[in-house]
């Protein structure tokens, strides 16, 4: 949150020409995923609860879109609907212009909890989607090997998931989701359970993979820096009901790296996200009503 620069931050909407040109190019590409006034209600104790309302979004081919929002705002509900694992109560979803519903390998998914098949080796996990498609075992195996190489796990192809670290598991999950050549890769807080260092590594891995693979990514996170680092556009949701608050075009130029964390564009975007997600509350102080339980003079600060 601290920025060392003394000069005022630029507006997060100002884009330098290269970035602006990039966005113009993205918008020329065909729309891969379109959701149109999507809504989802859950039955609650006191009548239906609206988890999502009127979500409309168009994602272009090979765009990287992050969805961010406070906990419970419906991020998971949204991505599960897009994956076909949940049904919307209103609205439509189109992939490549065709209305779809239900799970399908054209929309691959990476879950926060890895969900690797523990009885299969890394290689057979990655082969799973290919075999479901009816591909012969030999061909599936050679394709799986390419994906495993891509995520840098060649040495672990014959290992079982329980023998891998969290970051490695998530790389297998990414390879597994990418193997059937999805149009869209959906990721629900995929790095949420990883430690800070592994998480940073995985972020650059993911950018690398995205550069080399023809895939559009919709990525959910609650980490603001992660969203800015990865995304072309950031969809900010608000809670109760879950609605789109703003869609931000990230002005940070590509290729991205952690070194850009202190750049003015990054900081400006960061400040805007902070305003949206943690709005300034006026009156209440953030002191807890705690009675002093230590002796006078026994201070830790």
Partner 1 sequence: MSRPRWFAVRQDLSPSRRRLLGVCAFLLPLLLWSIVSYVPFIWHPNIKVTDAGDVSWMRPGLQFDRHEFAKEVAAAQSAGTRPPAGIRANPIYLPAPHDVGRALYTAFTTKPVLKGDLWLHESLAMSLKTIFWGFLISSAVGVPLGILCGAFVAASRLSEPFVDFVRYMPAPAFGALMVAVFGIHLEPKVAIIVIGTFFQQVLVVANTVRKVDGGLIEAAQTLGAKRSQLVLRVLLPASLPDLYNDLRILLGWAWTYLIVAEVVGVSSGITFFINQQAKYRNFDNVYAAILIIGFIGLATDQILAFFGQRFFAWKNPRSSRLRAFITRLFSRRDQPLPEGQP
Ligand X SMILES: Nc1ncnc2c1ncn2[C@@H]1O[C@H](COP(=O)(O)OP(=O)(O)O)[C@@H](O)[C@H]1O
Positions touching ligand X (CB under 6 A) are 42, 51, 69, 71-77
DSSP 291: -
Bridge partners of residue 107, in order along the sequence: 184
Residue placing its CB nearer to partner 1 in the complex, 106 or 249: 106
Residue placing its CB nearer to ligand X in the complex, 72 or 118: 72
Among 44, 48, 72, 113, binds partner 1 (CB under 8 A): 113
**Among ligand X, partner 1, Mg ion, none, partner that 71 touches (CB below 5 to 8 angstroms by kind):** ligand X
Q: Is 176 in the site for partner 1 (CB under 8 A)?
A: yes
Residue placing its CB nearer to partner 1 in the complex, 26 or 120: 120
How are beta strands 233-238 and 243-249 bridged, if at all? antiparallel
Residue placing its CB nearer to partner 1 in the complex, 172 or 228: 172
Among 32, 68, 93, 109, binds partner 1 (CB under 8 A): 109
**Among partner 1, ligand X, Mg ion, none, partner that 83 touches (CB below 5 to 8 angstroms by kind):** partner 1
Q: Is 181 in the site for partner 1 (CB under 8 A)?
A: no
Cβ-contact 117, 176 below 8 angstroms? no
C-alpha 82/C-alpha 186 separation (Å) is 8
Other CB atoms within a 10 A radius of the CB of residue 282 amount to 4
C-alpha 170/C-alpha 189 separation (Å) is 11
Bridge partners of residue 184, in order along the sequence: 107, 216
Other CB atoms within a 10 A radius of the CB of residue 250 amount to 25
In the bound state, the residue with its beta carbon closest to ligand X is 76
Residue placing its CB nearer to partner 1 in the complex, 217 or 228: 217
C-alpha 98/C-alpha 96 separation (Å) is 6
C-alpha 182/C-alpha 85 separation (Å) is 16
Interface contacts to partner 1, rule CB under 8 A? 83-85, 103-105, 107-109, 111, 113, 115-120, 128-129, 132-133, 160-163, 176-177, 180, 186
């Amino acid at each position: 949150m601290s920025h060392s620069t003394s000069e005022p931050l630029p507006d997060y909407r100002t884009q330098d020409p290269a970035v602006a040109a990039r966005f113009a190019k993205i918008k020329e590409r065909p729309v891969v995923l379109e959701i149109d006034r999507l809504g989802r209600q859950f039955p609650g104790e006191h009548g239906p609860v609206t988890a999502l309302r009127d979500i409309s979004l168009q994602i272009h081919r090979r765009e990287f879109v992050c969805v961010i929002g406070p906990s419970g705002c419906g991020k998971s509900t949204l991505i599960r609907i897009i994956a076909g694992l949940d049904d919307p109560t209103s609205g439509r979803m189109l992939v490549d212009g065709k209305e779809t519903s239900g799970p399908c390998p054209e929309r691959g998914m990476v879950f926060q909890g890895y969900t690797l098949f523990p009885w299969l080796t890394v290689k057979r996990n990655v082969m799973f989607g290919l075999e479901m498609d009816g591909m012969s075992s030999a061909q599936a195996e050679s394709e799986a090997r390419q994906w495993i190489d891509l995520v840098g796990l060649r040495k672990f192809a014959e290992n079982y998931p329980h023998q891998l670290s969290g970051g490695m598991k998530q790389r297998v999950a990414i390879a597994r989701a990418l193997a059937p050549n999805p149009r869209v890769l959906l990721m629900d807080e995929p790095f949420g359970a990883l430690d800070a260092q592994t998480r940073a590594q995985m972020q650059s891995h993911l950018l690398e993979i995205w550069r080399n693979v023809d895939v559009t990514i919709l990525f959910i996170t609650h980490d603001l820096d992660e969203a800015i680092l990865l995304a072309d556009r950031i969809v900010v949701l608000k809670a109760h009901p879950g609605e789109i608050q703003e869609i931000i075009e990230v002005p940070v130029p590509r290729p991205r790296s952690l070194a850009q964390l202190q750049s003015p564009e990054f900081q400006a975007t960061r400040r805007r996200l902070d305003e949206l997600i943690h709005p300034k509350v006026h009156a209440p102080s953030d002191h807890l009503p705690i009675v002093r339980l230590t002796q006078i003079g026994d201070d830790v600060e």
